[in-house]
Amino acid sequence: MTHTTPSGTRPYTLFTGQWADLPLEEVAALAAGWGYDGLEIACSGDHFDVRRAAVDDDYVAGQRAVLDAHGLGCWAISHHLVGQAVSDHLIDERHRAILPPHIWGDGDPAGVRRRAADEMRLTAQAARRFGVDTVIGFTGSPIWHTVAMFPPVTADQIAQGYADFAATWTPILDAYLEHGVRFALEVHPSEIAYDYWTTARTLEVLGGHPAFGLNFDPSHMIWQDVDPVQFVLDFADRIWHVDCKDTRTRFDGRTGRLGSHLPWGDPRRGWDFVSAGRGDTPWEAVFRALNAIGYAGPISIEWEDAGMDRLRGAPEALGHLRQFDFAPATRSFDAAFAVNSGGPAEESYEQKTMKEEVQ
């Protein structure tokens, strides 16, 4: 679907995953009223039913009509929760709480994984019929449970985990390629790719599969001390979607990066997700990096903040991030000097250097 934003710049969308308790109609009305350009629709609640969208033209038209009635576009759908069950080593009550009944079934882990994989393949077909070419999601991980590296984990065990992941996901990604749809993994703890080097290894083990890319969310980098700007520049060709939430850290000698099994918002935690603009993410540097790599896709606000009402936070986050929606320079600021002197207006050293770094 083609949708032009009022300013003609990147569209700003609201991810509906945290709003799945409300009907899509209500979420669309709220988002439009706040000035969003569209929605990143989650396959949750009544927002998007993959099985119906894959076969029912009337259903697809009805969901589109909700968007159209509020002047909203959609560039991606998201299927995080079912994707998580595809490759997780442990399938337990945590999954039962997030999975739809037809995926959970009798809870037998092998059956859960198989049904989840089947639905993730079907999601490619549903996305194409809905008119979007990008699906955001999780993959789960066969090796996340070994992240502490104790009891001791061998290199062969880690390699086998990556191999198992590739064997499971390659047929799914082949289905995406067949439908002309891309899958963008949200790099996130508990996934096969959760930081810089695990992202590099995941891309390598998949052999650079053309249907596999990344959903960039800087909030997951901040508390791990991964530089989000370097991540954008180094994985430029695989940044296919951007989600924005923020992280506020408070490491005071007692608090730790692993969260101490404390709930979100607990003051004893070392970090929390907060509304965009209220944390430690260097947003201007992130947006300048996105400009440098030529990213022109959606900026989707994934609103999460345990200490703030979402009806205030979602519009505030939009207002904060829109200030960085400036177009990159089309010419060097010092080009005028060359023009005034009668010489050619060449690229500056800074422009040439940035291009070389991105390439």
Identify the residue with better confidence: 249 or 3. 249
pTM for this entry: 0.92
Is residue 263 within 8 Å of 41, Cβ to Cβ?
no
pLDDT beyond 50 at 8:
no
Q: Which of 234, 329, 221 is nearest to 282 (CA)?
A: 221
pLDDT band at 4 (very low <50, low <70, confident <90, very high): very low
pLDDT in tens, 160-202: 999 999 999 999 999 999 999 999 999 999 999 999 999 999 9
CATH superfamily of 12-331: Divalent-metal-dependent TIM barrel enzymes (3.20.20.150)
pLDDT beyond 60 at 350:
no
Is residue 358 within 8 Å of 293, Cβ to Cβ?
yes
Is residue 40 within 8 Å of 13, Cβ to Cβ?
yes
pLDDT in tens, 78-107: 999 999 999 999 999 999 999 999 999 999
Q: Which of 273, 21, 239, 287 is nearest to 134 (CA)?
A: 239
pLDDT band at 262 (very low <50, low <70, confident <90, very high): very high
Mean pLDDT of 60-67: 98
Mean pLDDT of 251-267: 96
Cα–Cα dist 111/117, whole Å: 10
pLDDT in tens, 295-348: 999 999 999 999 999 999 999 999 999 999 888 777 777 777 766 655 555 554
Cα–Cα dist 259/268, whole Å: 8
Q: Report pLDDT for 359.
A: 54
Mean pLDDT of 9-36: 97
DSSP 141: -
Cα–Cα dist 233/219, whole Å: 17
Cα–Cα dist 22/3, whole Å: 24
Helix (H), strand (E) at residue 259: none
Identify the residue with better confidence: 3 or 71. 71
List the chain domain ranges. 12-331, 332-359
pLDDT in tens, 129-160: 999 999 999 999 999 999 999 999 999 999 99
Phi-psi region at 72: left, alpha or beta (left = phi > 0; alpha = psi -120 to 50):
beta
